[in-house]
Structure 1
Amino acid sequence: MVRAKLLIISPCRNEADYMRHTLDSMVAQTVRPDLWVIVDDGSTDQTPQILAEYAAKYDFIKIVPKANRGHRSVGPGVIEAFYAGYRAVRPDDFEYICKLDLDLELPPRYFEILLKRLEENPRIGTCSGKPYFLDNESGKLISEKCGDENSVGMTKLFRKRCFDQIGGFVQQVMWDAIDGHRCRMLGWIAVSWDEPELRFVHLRPMGSSQQNMLTGRMRHGFGQYFMGTGLAYMAASALYRMTRPPYLIGGMGMWWGYLKCLLTRHPRLEDPAFRAFLRRYQWSCLLRGKNKATAILNKQRAAVWRPEATETVFTGDR
């Protein structure tokens, strides 16, 4: 049986202000998905009506409604909604799977280029382009400065075999970093590229929150602690973020979110081997720079890469 190429799953909740941009840019893709499952996570605005309008026009769009939990849940709620869509179809029928947000404007060749690179390099397990946001004062697009060592959370394209081996997404904040590190543990490559045809507009800037930007940055600090990030690496990361918009307060929020969890001994991801792997990599990043550390690690981990393995290595944390 010839497998379909691309399955996209989009969790969404109350995205009426943004979603037409994503829907229209997906319809305009040079390579459309074979199936696009959009999970309406209990929206109370015009989201259901807009989804119904597009589903009636395009047969590759399938809508999965989900009961309203009463609030937006960034992180765990998003992944819960993703898996509602995942269970509604037969994901094993597809070669590639993508988690895609509905607050993006994608360039027209976005998926064409990414799929071509996945097919050219079988070690790539997950990949993406880079997010930019519009600065209201200057009118210019500004990079969100995401590292090259992982695909970005708002558009994560996975090789299905890699997605299976890492056990999918963890249902917790920082799910979109844990997956990339798990890829490297198993010898896969996680990567994103900052190129004109792969740059997309993020209409809701990364690190924002349903409450405010500071809350979003504190949540990121909690996520870093939960994942297992070391104190030195977190300090360096927070200092760097202080130099990016929102200046000072963003990095300070991250630092406080991490430190609060450290002081209260908040539970961490129950995977000591993963946390040890992560900290070795982070120390290498501090000493060598992230790009060089990642290149060295990818070369070392080639020896453990087993692309045809069918077992799930990481389990029990969805």
Structure 2
Amino acid sequence: MTPSTHHYCLITPCRDESAYARRTLESVTRQSIPPALWVIVDDGSTDATPDILADYASRFDYIRILRRDGSTQRRVGPGVVDAFYAGLDTINLDRFPFLCKLDLDLDLPPRYFEILIDRMYANPRLGTCSGKPYFPAPTNRDKSFAGPLISEACGDEMSVGMTKFYRTTCFKQINGFVRSVMWDGIDCHRCRMLGWIARSWDEPDLRFIHLRPMGASHRGILTGRARHGQGQYFMGTDPLYMLASATYRMTRRPYILGGAAMLVGYTHAMLTRHPRYDDPTFRRFLRNYQRQCLIKGKQTATQTLTPPPQ
């Protein structure tokens, strides 16, 4: 069977998301181009999440629920990717030109996937892309666009981890996601190594609400930022680039402490000789790219160091 040019598959790992699930489910089912298939992997929820998912699966035939045993401790990063692959293993990926790893704590604008698909067809080198996440300010109690929203300030040269929209051929060529805490950074850099473009846009029709701010660990946002710093060390991030990144994050909420926690996580991993991503070629590419970003700026470095497509 020849897949439709607009066929896309969503795979959503989730666990105990009853506070946000309906908001995400509503925003996806109201998309101008709905998914051909949406596999939601319930990774052992103990709250009302299974009941919410069952309700929507009974009303939308493209929603499929996969229930996993939740007896193991939650592992942010590797655990999410493990759940994603549990869903991926149930589908024939060749049926879908596009694939998206999607979180269950988002509120997407109605033309979100339509626009991303159009951008993919407009640029054959575009391998992965996304919109930009915003989170509600404390005064915005109903978490709507009517009140103040705060940008998570993600770089234009990356697709964001909570909604990774991929061209299937690119996803296969980079060998998918690594099962580590920096899976959502390594993938974009591997795209660049192989001549693909990773991109995100801060435009009104692509801005979405992240109901749980970036780096907000299930144990607290500072733990999440420290984990991010540890992940940067694992990935192979250059120390000077890490210092610059953490300094910038100190200007965002939570002020000072968020960036400081990133440095603590990175430094601790370095001093304790934490394992590193076992791909020396990748780490050399990453450090060269990051140093060029510091010298030339991200936009110029990205354009200069992305090789022609293979």
TM class by shorter chain equals over 0.9
Aligned length: 302
Q: What is the DSSP-based 3-state SS (H/G/I as helix, E as strand, rest coil) of the residue aligned with 1:127?
A: strand
Q: What is the DSSP-based 3-state SS (H/G/I as helix, E as strand, rest coil) of the residue aligned with 1:177?
A: helix
Cα offset, 1:294, TM superposition: 1.1
Q: What is the DSSP-based 3-state SS (H/G/I as helix, E as strand, rest coil) of the residue aligned with 2:202?
A: coil
- Aligned partner letter, 2:195: G
Moved more, 67-76 or 47-56: 67-76
Q: Does 1:160 align with 2:162?
A: no
Q: Does 1:105 align with 2:113?
A: no
The residue that corresponds to 1:294 in the other structure is 302
- Aligned partner letter, 1:48: P
Cα offset, 1:72, TM superposition: 2.4
Q: Does 1:222 align with 2:239?
A: no
Give the alignment of 1:148-187 within 5 angstroms: 148-187=156-195
The residue that corresponds to 1:27 in the other structure is 29
Distance in 1 (CA, whole Å) between partners of 2:234 and 2:196 is 23
- Aligned partner letter, 1:145: A
Q: Does 1:253 align with 2:255?
A: no
Distance in 2 (CA, whole Å) between partners of 1:235 and 1:193 is 25
Distance in 1 (CA, whole Å) between partners of 2:139 and 2:293 is 34
Q: Does 1:121 align with 2:123?
A: yes
Give the alignment of 1:17-96 within 5 angstroms: 17-96=19-98
Moved more, 191-200 or 71-80: 71-80
Deviations, residues 270-314 of structure 1 (Å, cap 9, x unaligned): 00000000000000000011122112223xx11xx13xxxxxxxx
Deviations, residues 199-240 of structure 1 (Å, cap 9, x unaligned): 000000001111111100000000100000011100111111
Q: What is the DSSP-based 3-state SS (H/G/I as helix, E as strand, rest coil) of the residue aligned with 1:15?
A: coil
Deviations, residues 67-113 of structure 1 (Å, cap 9, x unaligned): 11343221000000000000011112111000000000000000000
- Normalising to structure 1: TM-score of the pair? 0.94
Q: What is the DSSP-based 3-state SS (H/G/I as helix, E as strand, rest coil) of the residue aligned with 1:265?
A: coil
Distance in 1 (CA, whole Å) between partners of 2:51 and 2:90 is 21
Q: What is the DSSP-based 3-state SS (H/G/I as helix, E as strand, rest coil) of the residue aligned with 1:285?
A: helix
Distance in 1 (CA, whole Å) between partners of 2:31 and 2:216 is 27
Runs of 4+ in 1 over 3 A off after TM superposition: none
Distance in 2 (CA, whole Å) between partners of 1:181 and 1:59 is 36
Q: What is the DSSP-based 3-state SS (H/G/I as helix, E as strand, rest coil) of the residue aligned with 1:7?
A: strand
Q: What is the DSSP-based 3-state SS (H/G/I as helix, E as strand, rest coil) of the residue aligned with 2:209?
A: strand
The residue that corresponds to 1:241 in the other structure is 249
Deviations, residues 97-138 of structure 1 (Å, cap 9, x unaligned): 000000000000000000001011110000000000000136
Q: Does 1:263 align with 2:265?
A: no
Give the alignment of 1:276-291 within 5 angstroms: 276-291=284-299
Q: What is the DSSP-based 3-state SS (H/G/I as helix, E as strand, rest coil) of the residue aligned with 1:254?
A: helix
Distance in 2 (CA, whole Å) between partners of 1:264 and 1:46 is 40
- Aligned partner letter, 1:190: A
Distance in 2 (CA, whole Å) between partners of 1:237 and 1:132 is 19
Q: What is the DSSP-based 3-state SS (H/G/I as helix, E as strand, rest coil) of the residue aligned with 2:284?
A: helix
Distance in 2 (CA, whole Å) between partners of 1:160 and 1:117 is 15
- Normalising to structure 2: TM-score of the pair? 0.96
Moved more, 285-294 or 69-78: 69-78
- Aligned partner letter, 2:225: R
Deviations, residues 179-206 of structure 1 (Å, cap 9, x unaligned): 0000000000000000000000000000
**2:132 equivalent among 108, 130, 133:** 130
Moved more, 71-80 or 279-288: 71-80
What is the identity percentage for the equivalent residue pairs of Structure 1 and Structure 2?
A: 61
Distance in 2 (CA, whole Å) between partners of 1:265 and 1:72 is 24
Q: What is the DSSP-based 3-state SS (H/G/I as helix, E as strand, rest coil) of the residue aligned with 1:168?
A: coil
Distance in 2 (CA, whole Å) between partners of 1:56 and 1:71 is 30
Deviations, residues 219-276 of structure 1 (Å, cap 9, x unaligned): 0000100000011100111111011100000000000000001111111000000000
Cα offset, 1:2, TM superposition: 1.3
